[in-house]
Every structure is written in C-alpha cells, then in structure tokens.
Amino acid sequence: MTRMTRRMIVAALALAPAGCSSLLGGGGPPTALYTLTALNNLPGGPRLNLEILIDKPSATDALDTRRIALRRNQLSFNYYADSAWTDPAPAMIQALLVESLQRSGRVKAVSRNTLAIRGDYELRVDVRRFEADYEGKAELPTIRIEFGLILVHVEDRAVAGTNTVTASARPGANDVSSVVVAFDQALHDATRDTLTWTLQTAR
C-alpha cells in the first residue's frame, strides 16, 4: 500500500458518517463538540411592549439528539462520526432564538417557556429539517433547515399565525468544521426569518 493510498483511506474514514454501532448508541463518546451562535443583526423596527415565550422546539427522534445529522437519501439518517453538538439540537435552537431576540432589544422581555412565566405570546417551533444533505452523491452537502412555526396568544390560547421558514447553505469543504460553519450561516438566516415573522405577527 502506497503512502498516498494510506492518506486517502485515513481521510475517508475521518469524513465517514457514523455506522450502525453509533446509530444504536454503541459508539464511544464524541471527540469534538460544536455549538452555533446567536444572531446579532435582526432588522430594526419598533420596540414592542410584549413578553415573548419560546417553547423548546419539537423534533423527531432522528433530530432530537446531540449527533450532527446527515442524509444521503430521503429514507435514512446518519451522523458524522466522533462529532456532536454541545446540546441536543432542539435545546440549542431554543437557547439561540431566545438570545437572538434578547440582543435585538425589540421586545420588553423574552424567555424560555416555563410554567412559572406568563407572557403575551408563545412561539412554538417544529424542527422539520436540520441536517447536511448529500443527496445525488454530492461531494459537498447542502445544509437544510426547516422550521414550522405557530404563534399563540397566551391569554386566550388563540393561534395568532402559522408559518414555515426554510434556509440552506453550503460549506466550503467536506469536513465537519466547515459543515458546522455552514450550519451557523443557515441557522442565522432561519432565525432572522423566524423572529421577524414573530414580531410582525405579534404586533
């Protein structure tokens, strides 16, 4: 085996998705942890005298995990080997939505939804897509994010509005660090659209 061949095999293993043992929880702990960042530049607008509560997003079991999901077809999920988010994806998304809205200064208050807090509106998010898409045997994946949104008026539990937000981005290289950067970009776009719609609907 030549030195070049050995290098190619090592590189392929580093990029390979987790196998059956990881999918079943039989793999070892991840060696690299990643997180995403809050949005700093929510478009300006009037400050609303409202308290917004953000529920912990719902998600399927395939996405309600710390593993970083990828798909090669519509019928299966895999995960990047030896890599994970610092928190399960729905909890991470909730924290970043709260932080992004807080940074904007656009509302009186925003917090995670708990039984101890009563706000004016409650934002419910269904995480439908949050993965790196390799369909079509693409060399570089496309990060795909899709949120289903419901805004509820807390006082009478009436639905103020519903919406679907999608976002995508492509990494500059086929390695986990580059994929995470693309996740961050796509999540910023999805966060901007989610919060802009929320404020417009609540107003």
Query: What is the structure's pLDDT at 115?
Result: 64
Tokens (6 digits) for 75: 């019928």
Fold of domain 55-202 = Rossmann fold (3.40.50)
Query: What is the structure's pLDDT at 28?
Result: 62
Query: What is the structure's pLDDT at 70?
Result: 96
The DSSP result for 93-162, as a single string, is HHHHHHHHHHHHT-EEEEEE--TT---SEEEEEEEEEEEEE-GGG-SS-EEEEEEEEEEEETTTTEEEEE
Tokens (6 digits) for 43: 């478009």
Query: What is the structure's pLDDT at 1?
Result: 47
Query: What is the structure's pLDDT at 7?
Result: 38
Give dist(CA 188, CA 42) in Å, integer: 9
Spatial contact of 92 and 83, defined as CB atoms under 8 Å apart: no
Tokens (6 digits) for 79: 């995960």
Query: What is the structure's pLDDT at 31?
Result: 86
Model confidence over 161-174: pLDDT tens digits? 999 999 999 999 99
The angle formed by the CA atoms of residues 140, 145 and 148, to the nearest 5 degrees, is: 160
> How do the domains of the chain map onto residue ranges?
55-202
Comparing CA positions, the residue from 47, 175, 199 lying closest to residue 121 is 199
Residue type, position 156, single letter: D
For the entire predicted model, the pTM comes to: 0.85
Give the residues of the chain that fall short of pLDDT 50: 1-26
